[in-house]
Amino acid sequence: MSNKNPRNQQPTIGEVMDQAGVGRRQFMKYCAGITAMMAMPPLSTAAFARDLRAARRPSVIYMPFQECTGCLESLTRSFAPALENLMFNTISLDYNHTLQAAAGEAAEAARHAAMEENFGEYVLICDGSLPTKINGAYGTSDGHTFLQQLEEAAEGAAAIVAVGSCAAFGGVAAAYPNPTGAVGVADLVKDRPIINVPGCPPMPEVMTGVLVSFLASGVPALDKHLRPKAFFGDTIHDRCYRRRFYDRGLFAKSFDDEGARNGWCLYELGCRGPTTYNACATIKWNGGASWPVEAGHGCIGCSEPNFWDQGGFYEPLTAKLFKERGQAAAAAAAGVAVGAAAAYGARRRQKKLAGDAE
């Protein structure tokens, strides 16, 4: 509550909303949408809205590491409702070298200023993995490795939101043989609250939803992979509208067969829905227009650790199991040999006993 803290001089989100001419009803509708999306009880909406209005506009530092900008694309090009964009605008995005006008030294100076002013208060968003081999030299900017930058930026962060499967788990860059030694933020930072929002890319509604819920009520309940349970609590398969076909054993066998045309389950075409936790099946993509499984493609499990090293995306989950038939044949031959030897031994004993008896 001290006045030295610059965050106390920031307007509250309510004030920002008022200034932008957002009506109370529109704001409540937005909050109701968020709480519904997070499966919070309807009665909690009012309290959520109150807390969110009272929250001060946060300073956000967005650090891109070894990334493809897909996550940022997902976030900024979302077809999300205007208010949701506005929500994103209410945060004070103090650094994002892709979006900001300032570049080079000026941008870095702005980042350092924001970090100093808001030490201990700012939200650090990261996307991209962190290359660790040769002391992090695979990823540098402004003369510093990503490793150093993360360490420095993490120190004063109130919380870190690792956006995308790369920042969360290492991602595609970490795929075998992982030449750069890529890892996720949580593999390196151990002493800050970390919220993982994986996905390749993550859903824009989930990214903003996580930010907003963090502002209103702090770090949400997380699962074992540090993903907010509100969005990653159910598997794709749990919520998939093709589930009734799975349950009836009706599977598309190729992308253009009768089954595919009838909208049958895509499990045999490699769908990873049963072991993938994400919100695609409920929130859907592009403003609720559709989502991968609805568009006819199996889920590739993009919000799960290691999804990049699970064999072909079009192989059913268990397909890769018994490829080494040579080993099975060898085991069979060894079994026959041991069995024959055992029988031979037994017969000799038998004969000997018979001889003794005579």
User: Does 246 sit near ligand SF4 (CB under 6 A)?
Assistant: yes
Chain residue whose CB lies nearest ligand HEM: 318
Least separation in angstroms between CB 242 and ligand HEM: 14
Long-range contacts of 230-234 (CB under 8 A, 24+ apart): 230/37, 230/38, 230/39, 230/40, 231/37, 231/38, 231/197, 231/203, 231/206, 231/278, 231/279, 232/277, 232/278, 232/279, 232/303, 233/39, 233/277, 234/277, 234/279, 234/281, 234/282
Binding to ligand SF4 (CB under 6 A): which residues in 272-331? Answer: 273-274, 276, 278, 280, 291-293, 298-303
In the complex with ligand HEM, the residue whose CB is nearer, 67 or 304, is: 304
CA dist., res. 76 & res. 204, Å (int): 8
CB atoms within 10 A of CB 324: 9
Among 105, 324, 356, 358, binds another protein (CB under 8 A): 324
Residues contributing to the site for ligand HEM (CB under 6 A)? 274, 317-318
User: Does 20 sit near another protein (CB under 8 A)?
Assistant: no
Segment lying near ligand SF4 (by CB under 6 A), choices 61-69, 171-179, 205-213, 237-245:
237-245
Extract the tokens encoding 115.
């970090």
Residue identified by tokens 């990049």 is: 308
Long-range contacts of 72-77 (CB under 8 A, 24+ apart): 72/96, 72/98, 72/99, 72/127, 73/201, 74/199, 74/201, 74/202, 74/203, 74/204, 74/207, 75/163, 75/201, 75/204, 75/207, 75/208
User: Does 262 sit near another protein (CB under 8 A)?
Assistant: no
In the complex with ligand HEM, the residue whose CB is nearer, 3 or 318, is: 318
CA distances, 301 to each of 14, 298, 310 (Å): 38, 9, 9
Site size for another protein, by CB under 8 A? 39
Least separation in angstroms between CB 307 and ligand SF4: 8
Least separation in angstroms between CB 235 and another protein: 6
Among 328, 348, 352, 353, binds another protein (CB under 8 A): 328
Among 193, 263, 274, 287, binds another protein (CB under 8 A): 274
Site string for ligand SF4, 122-141 (x = CB under 6 A): --------------------
Which residues have C-beta within 8 Å of that of residue 222, sequence separation ≥ 6? 195, 196, 228, 229
Binding to another protein (CB under 8 A): which residues in 217-256? Answer: 235, 237-238, 246-249, 251, 253
Chain contacts with another protein (rule: CB under 8 A): 235, 237-238, 246-249, 251, 253, 267-268, 274-275, 305-306, 310, 316-319, 321-324, 327-328, 331-332, 334-336, 338-340, 342-344, 346-347
